[in-house]
Amino acid sequence: MSKVSAAIFPALKYDDAPGAIDWLGKAFGFSKHMVVPNEGGVAHAELRLGGAMIMLGSPGKPDPTNPWTTERQGIYVQITDIDEHYARVKAMGAKIERPLADTPYGAREYTVRDPGGHLWSFGTYDPFAPQE
């Protein structure tokens, strides 16, 4: 197996994402790194605590092509060699929820379920990288 460079980010959905952002800041000390609002909530947010980061947002309208619209929690893993990683996972027979593809925000990523049914996304998006 090849040596993989990666960073892991828990991803959570909150019915009241703006309230959760406020609460996580006041209670746990998280600071806003990025918040992208949408109609009635938060499309995507990144909160920092020291050198760590979590991602969160509001639940979305169900989209059968994207389980992240309704899933309450999962993991996002930033990984460098995404094509090799995807090929290996696919060869293992994993349940691919979203095939490897380029995103509108400049990442290349895919979504899969592990044997326990937990949602994982692997991609090149690095929330620590400077935003243009």
Of 11-15, 44-48, 115-119, the poorest mean pLDDT is in 115-119
Long-range contacts of 104-113 (CB under 8 A, 24+ apart): 108/82, 108/83, 109/82, 110/82, 110/86, 111/66, 111/67, 111/68
Assign 116 a pLDDT band (cuts: 50, 70, 90): confident
Q: By residue range, what is the domain housing residue 63?
A: 6-123
Distance CA 110, CA 30 (A): 27
Q: Answer yes or no: is 128 within a domain.
A: no
Q: Answer yes or no: is 129 within a domain.
A: no
- Count of structural domains within the chain: 1
Q: Answer yes or no: is 116 within a domain.
A: yes
Q: Answer yes or no: is 55 within a domain.
A: yes
Tens of pLDDT, residue by residue over 63-102, are: 888 888 888 899 999 998 999 999 999 999 999 999 999 9
pTM for the full model? 0.79
Per-residue pLDDT, 110: 96
Tens of pLDDT, residue by residue over 21-50, are: 999 999 889 999 999 999 889 999 999 998
Q: Answer yes or no: is 1 within a domain.
A: no
Helices (H), the chain: 17-28, 82-91
CATH of the domain at 106: 3.10.180.10
Top mean pLDDT of 97-101, 116-120, 123-127 is at 97-101
Per-residue pLDDT, 3: 57
